[in-house]
Amino acid sequence: MKTKIKVTREVDLRYLKVDAGVRYWEDSDIDGTPDLDMCECKGNAVPRMPFAVKVKDKPESNIYSDHWRWQPTIDVERGCIVDWPKGTTARVHYKVFDDGVYNLLDPLENIIVSVESFVPDCIGEYGDYIVMNIDEDGNIEGFNFTADDVDEIIKSDFDYEED
Q: Average pLDDT for consecutive 10-residue bins of the chain (163 residues)?
A: 77 93 90 84 80 73 64 96 98 88 95 90 85 97 90 72 54
What number of CA atoms fall less than 13 Å from residue 49's CA on the CB side? 33
pLDDT at 157: 63
Separation between Cα atoms, residue 37 and residue 27, nearest integer Å: 9
pLDDT at 150: 86
pLDDT at 42: 62
Domain coordinates in residue numbering, the chain? 15-155
pLDDT at 125: 80
